[in-house]
Structure 1
Amino acid sequence: MSIAVNWGDPDRTTLQLTFERGWTWENLKQAIAQADMLIEAAGHTVHLIIDLRGGGGVPRDFLTAAGDLFAQGEARPNEGTRVIVGAGVLLRGAYRSLQALYGTQLAERPFLFAASPDEAQQLIAAR
């Protein structure tokens, strides 16, 4: 799988999705399904760190595929803060476009952005 899903700490309060070069939208759907199962089973708040730094570029049809993902379901009751690590200017701009299109869904599940995993942990700790 080109997206690894792992616990980020021994207490299982942070789940990390680490993207590797060559990932596909199907990989992302599988990783989200795996993350959802882990979050639901945790029984406590679980934060997400989505690390794009090693993922290379974004596959084609970003806006369509991302929109489809955002339109699926709601946040889990115990889903915490979601931080994207390593998003470039283009991806952040695309996120703003998605906010305009899917404002209601994204308002309940906003993303924060960080340059490093350490900064992501600081953002989570501050919330």
Structure 2
Amino acid sequence: MPVSVDWANPEKTIVMQRIDGQWSMAEFYDVVQKSAQLLATVDHPVDIIVDLSTTNFVPQGVISGANKTESTVPPNQRLVIFVGAKMMHKLLLSLGKRLAPRAATHQHFVETMEEANGLIEHFRAEQA
């Protein structure tokens, strides 16, 4: 399966989305919906890590998907951290930031999972 989503920790403060190989917009929408469902089960802020490190693919229609993504952003979504995004992903996600500002307000790019977790820890420390 090229996509998956689940809690990354027992505290339910981080959701891990993995996107691998070739994937479709339908699969991406499933990830967005499942993430929203997970976030709806808690009342505290949740950060999302999107692991793109094992895909070079971008499906057709990804830009038009920004509106659908924007309409499903839960109020407790906080950081969205993309791990291993290629330049093509970064360009499209930056454009998506204009089309779906709520979905990408706190969008960040890092190269490793360690950097993603460090960014979350740093952000939480600043918020405390």
Detail structure 1 runs of 4+ shifted over 6 Å in the superposition.
none
2:32 maps to a residue whose letter is I
Q: Aligned partners of 1:108 and 1:53: how far apart in 2?
A: 19
Identity across the alignment (%)? 20
Larger mean CA deviation between 78-87 and 91-100 belongs to: 91-100
- The superposition leaves residues 78-101 of structure 1 with CA deviations (integer Å, 9 ceiling, x where unpaired) of 21211011111122122233334x
Q: Is the 8 A contact 2:69 2:103 kept in 1?
A: no
Root-mean-square deviation (CA, aligned residues, Å) is: 2.1
Pairing 1:86-97 to 2, within 5 Å after superposition: 86-97=84-95
Indicate the larger mover: 105-114 or 23-32. 105-114
Q: Is the contact made by 1:70 and 1:106 (CA closer than 8 Å) also made in structure 2? A: no
- Of residues 107, 110, 113 in structure 1, which corresponds to 2:109? 113
2:115 maps to 1:124: no
**1:62-117 superposed Cα distances (whole Å, 9 cap, x missing partner):** 3223x3334424x32221211011111122122233334x27x2487331111011
Deviations along 1:5-58, one digit per CA (max 9) or x if unpaired, are 121112111110011212110011111111111101022221100001123311
Distance change >3 Å, CA 110–CA 22, structure 1 → 2: same
Q: Is the 1:83–1:111 contact (alpha carbons within 8 Å) kept by the matching residues of 2? A: yes
- C-alpha contact (below 8 Å) 2:97/2:104 kept by paired residues: no
Query: Which consecutive residues of structure 2, in runs of 5 or more, have no partner in the other structure?
Result: 124-128
CA distance in 2, matches of 1:37, 1:107: 15
Q: TM-score, normalised by structure 1?
A: 0.83
What does residue range 1-127 of structure 1 map to in structure 2 within 5 Å? 1-65=1-65, 67-73=66-72, 75-100=73-98, 102=99, 105-106=101-102, 109-127=105-123
Runs of 5+ consecutive residues of structure 1 not aligned to the other structure: none
* One-letter amino acid of the counterpart of residue 48, structure 1: I
Between the two proteins, the alignment pairs up a number of residues equal to: 123
